[in-house]
Amino acid sequence: MRRSLVPVVLGLMVPAAVAAQNSVYGLMGIGFPGEPLSARARSLGGGIGAFDPTSALNPATAVGLGWTSSGRARLVVGGVAGTALRSFTAGDSTVTGLRETRFPFGIFGGTIPNTRFSFAGSFSTYAERTYDVTITGTQVLRGETVEVTDRIASDGAITDFRGAIAFRPGPGVFVGAAFHLLGGSSRLTVARTFSNPAYAPYAERSQLVFSGTGVSAGVVLLPTSAIELAASARLDGNLKTTSATRRAGTVGLPLSLSGGLRLTPAAGISLSSTAVRHSWSTAQPDLAAPTRAFDTWDIGGGVELSRPQARGLAPPIRLGMRYRQLPFSNVATQPTETVLSGGTGVSLAGGLANLDLAVERFRRSGGGATEQGWHFSLGMVMTPAGFGR
């Protein structure tokens, strides 16, 4: 590892006393949708998502985890940690200095010994449910109007655990399928205080547990050495929420279709793009008014530039751009998000590990709010010694 990277890593480790909040758009529906992307894919605007073995969008890419470019079997583990710095304006309220740090993605995979199959196991954030909101209002109690201050806080996420298997049926073709287990939980704190001290403040704490299942399948085609095509589909069932022993709602989850194109016109230049369509409107019947659910597009693209040097490759330059629609709103307007991203990576330990950095500048708007901020990701993918190279 280069010494210059040490301060960067240590800097990301320093905790700070600022707010931990996910997007203001995560207050609605089942939360703010996550992205099963590696740090490398994030720096490319998600464009490489449909092809990236270290992302969890397309199960066919698990082939890439199991075999090196030279055809040797291996085992790979990796993960991403990210920090978002954020501010938003909603109505007359402007809030700055919000921060959230998460470990939203991890993956491992490799070759199933003595077979042509590869496998991948991963976890990723399906929907983020972290917020802490204070609301003031009034209530008539015992014939008098009492001012109340409510605090509703949630800390947790819906997590997507994926088990994928893939193989290469022929030259230039990868196919794969996966089973998704949705889980996770969030700690919900609801508190109310009263302006009249005769009323005792109260707080209720509960744990919401999420469960659900889904399946996905995908394919990657390599018709030429310069062109890659990918497609995948994912069908999720219902997301069930329970609180203690009681059922706390069910939400229908979408069908997701994705497609991608990757071009390598010359050595050291890679262009990639991925588009995903989610039919989130299927959740509408299960959502309480005034929340609305919209179908969404998630389109991203990026370019990766690298050049050979005396020993291996120089750190690549990655640039990307992304546009996506957000699925939930409490008004008729669907919110959207645009992201400009960049990043790089270094190869460590003689190629046994890769450290990737991604920086994203995002802006979200719609539904009466605007939100902008930075997202920093640090990803590590490595092959443990003795498990291939």
Subset of 195-234 contacting other proteins (CB under 8 A): 198-202, 204, 206, 208
Phi, psi of 44 (to 5 degrees): -100, 20
353 binds other proteins (CB under 8 A): yes
What is the SS3 assignment for 7?
helix
Distance (Å, rounded) from C-alpha 265 to C-alpha 329?
A: 41
187 binds other proteins (CB under 8 A): no
Closest CB to other proteins among residues 17, 310: 17
Q: Are 279 and 254 in contact (CB under 8 A)?
A: yes
85 binds other proteins (CB under 8 A): no
288 binds other proteins (CB under 8 A): yes
Closest CB to other proteins among residues 28, 178: 28
CA distances from 301 to 1, 60, 319, 323 (A): 29, 20, 9, 9
305 binds other proteins (CB under 8 A): no
Which one among 65, 287, 321, 357 touches other proteins, defined by CB under 8 A?
287
Closest CB to other proteins among residues 37, 188: 188
Positions in 223-282 near other proteins (CB under 8 A): 241, 243, 246-251
Q: Which residues is 123 bridged to in the sheet?
A: 106, 161
Stretch of 44-52, 53-61, 118-126, 345-353 lying at the interface with other proteins (CB under 8 A): 345-353
Positions in 21-80 near other proteins (CB under 8 A): 21, 24-25, 27-28, 79
Cβ neighbours, 10 Å, residue 5: 14
DSSP 3-state helix, strand, coil percentages of the chain (rounded to 5)?
Answer: 10, 65, 25
Prior bond to 290 cis, omega within 30? yes
Using a 10 angstrom Cβ sphere, with 0-12 exposed, 13-18 middle and 19 or more buried, the burial of residue 371 is buried
332 binds other proteins (CB under 8 A): no
CB of 162 to other proteins, least distance (A): 20
188 binds other proteins (CB under 8 A): yes
Distance (Å, rounded) from C-alpha 166 to C-alpha 173?
A: 11
Q: Are 231 and 258 in contact (CB under 8 A)?
A: yes
Site string for other proteins, 99-138 (x = CB under 8 A): xxxxx---------------------------xxxxx---
CB of 83 to other proteins, least distance (A): 6
Distance (Å, rounded) from C-alpha 255 to C-alpha 61?
A: 20
What contacts 24+ positions apart, CB below 8 Å, involve 308-314?
308/267, 308/268, 312/347, 312/351, 313/347
Tokens 């969890």 -> residue: 56
Residues in contact with other proteins, counted by CB under 8 A, come to a total of 85
Which one among 12, 227, 263, 299 touches other proteins, defined by CB under 8 A?
12
Which one among 85, 112, 190, 215 touches other proteins, defined by CB under 8 A?
190
Which one among 68, 73, 83, 299 touches other proteins, defined by CB under 8 A?
83
Closest CB to other proteins among residues 115, 138: 138
Positions in 356-375 near other proteins (CB under 8 A): 367-369
Closest CB to other proteins among residues 218, 335: 335
Kind and range of the H or E element at 10?
helix 6-13
Strands (E) across 267-387 are located at 269-278, 292-293, 296-305, 317-325, 328-329, 336-348, 353-366, 369-382
CB of 106 to other proteins, least distance (A): 9
384 binds other proteins (CB under 8 A): yes
Positions in 142-171 near other proteins (CB under 8 A): 142, 148, 150-155
DSSP state, residue 172: T
Which one among 355, 357, 373, 375 touches other proteins, defined by CB under 8 A?
355
Which one among 75, 85, 95, 314 touches other proteins, defined by CB under 8 A?
95
